[in-house]
Amino acid sequence: MVPIHENYQDYRPPRYARPTIARLLLALPQHYLLGLQSVVLTYAAAIGRGKTHRIQGGKYLRNSCLGYYHHKWKGEPAWIEIVVDNIVAGILRPGVPNFVMYIPILRNYAFADVLFHEVDHHLDHTIAAPAPGGEAAAESWNGRLMASYLLKRYSYLRHWWLTLLSLTFFQILYLFWRQK
């Protein structure tokens, strides 16, 4: 498994951050993580100032991003940086109760979306991508990894989704038939 390091100084992370990332990494096929040195959990103040390079036509403040993929460079292996406080702040917007982050599926989804996106950049650099490089490639991988994780981790929900989908389908058919 890829080692997880924490880089916090003035920030006290939520106690669920590291175990959630560890669980998500274990859920990924290990050959997807080959060449990845580590995952570093950090906070926005440690990122520093400045803007990112151009991403999909815009530049963003570095310390407002949710994560970074640092590709292999000058003999140093690739690694991922996850900005925990920005992820938590993205979920706990004004008006959203704090207990939301204690609902496992919501918490896992928030962290998985960021981690898998950064792993997708790694896959784009190592395996290749089903879409053109960059953000489009990461998004195409992200959908696959997220669906795979959610179906594995929450397989019991699959039956609820199928039931809901079939009921909705039959309701639409009924309404269509009734209009004739």
Q: Which tokens sit at 111?
A: 């962290």
> Once rounded to an integer, what is the mean pLDDT over residues 6-33?
92
Rg (CA), the chain: 19
Is the CB of residue 56 less than 8 Å from the CB of residue 109?
A: no
Query: Which has the closest alpha carbon to 33: 5, 2, 76?
Result: 2
Lookup result for tokens 């009921």: 167
33: DSSP letter:
G
> Once rounded to an integer, what is the mean pLDDT over residues 68-73?
85
Q: Is the model more confident about 166 or about 97?
A: 97
pLDDT tens-digit series, residues 110-155: 899 899 988 888 887 787 656 555 666 667 677 778 878 877 887 7
Amino acid letter, 157: L
Query: Which helix (DSSP H) or strand (DSSP E) does residue 95 occupy?
Result: none
pLDDT tens-digit series, residues 149-162: 877 887 776 676 66
Residue 179 has pLDDT above 80, yes or no: no
Query: Which has the closest alpha carbon to 28: 103, 106, 124, 123?
Result: 123
Whole-model pTM?
0.78
Q: Which domains does the chain have, with CATH numbers?
A: 4-179 (3.30.2010.20)
Q: For residues 34 and 145, what is the distance between their CA atoms, to the nearest angstrom?
A: 16
Q: Is the model more confident about 65 or about 16?
A: 16
Residue 80 has pLDDT above 80, yes or no: yes
What is the Cα 126 distance to its own chain's centre?
19
